[in-house]
Structure 1
Amino acid sequence: DLDVCSCAYKLGNIGRVVDGVDACRLAVREEILKGATQIKVMASGGVASPNDPIGNLGYSEAELRAIVEEASNASTYVMAHAYTPRAIARAVRCGVRTIEHGNLVDAATADLMAEMGAFMVPTLITYEGLANEGERYG
């Protein structure tokens, strides 16, 4: 019996859906007050998200900038789940410091990241796990 992470089928306690600049600001403030040491946003869809394809963008640029501003006000930073060059570049231009995953990054976007002082945090083990165990676990 596979014990699947709650993130595979619901947000649970690991995240929230927010809409609009004011709601984004409030969400960051609340997460900081609850003890968050940094803020992670979904700046794109995902590889295992049936209703949020990898090419989708998350949040408006105004929302991303507000999230970054509120994190900065609390002396911390924002990381973004992003795969495509479009999502990565957009997040970095809005002030996101780290890109989580980023597997489809291209040279121009990597150059932009370097110019903006952003970092990539790849999660290559996920792909190894999918290749080696994915079929067995469906």
Structure 2
Amino acid sequence: MGQASRQSTLKVTLRHPAAAFLYQATKPRLRLDGVDVPSTGWGVHRLPVTPGSHRVEVWVPYVLPRRAGRARRDITVVGEQELALEYMAPSVTFARGSLGAPGEQTSTGYSTVMILNLIAVIAVVAGLVAFAVN
């Protein structure tokens, strides 16, 4: 069997932060070597790949930016194997997504969202206290 006929599998898991439930309203986009891959949404996708170098790109369609959470990874497939990647969408649409080893991807922008939430809570509490004093 020649090398061109051997097939490997690329397993890509597409995830988003649990608190970012709005991501459920859209489907992430997956591209392999510049070609869009039909995606059924979030979850696990298995793609046949041949040995050699490949580029994987993932993003989430959005209003602004048009490609939120963009992430790109170059991989090399050697022989017949299953390679696994995991994509994690960002907590903030203007941040980059992360694409890499499964179990190691975190949502970028999470600490920023938590800080903004804390500031909002403090502002509301301060407003309530000011209103109660008057």
Fold match by TM threshold 0.5? no
TM-score when scaled to structure 1?
A: 0.25
Q: Give the helix-richer structure, 1 or 2.
A: 1
Q: Which has the higher contact order (CA 8 A, sep 6+)?
A: 2
- Higher strand fraction: Structure 1 or Structure 2? 2
Q: Provide TM-score, normalisation by structure 2.
A: 0.26
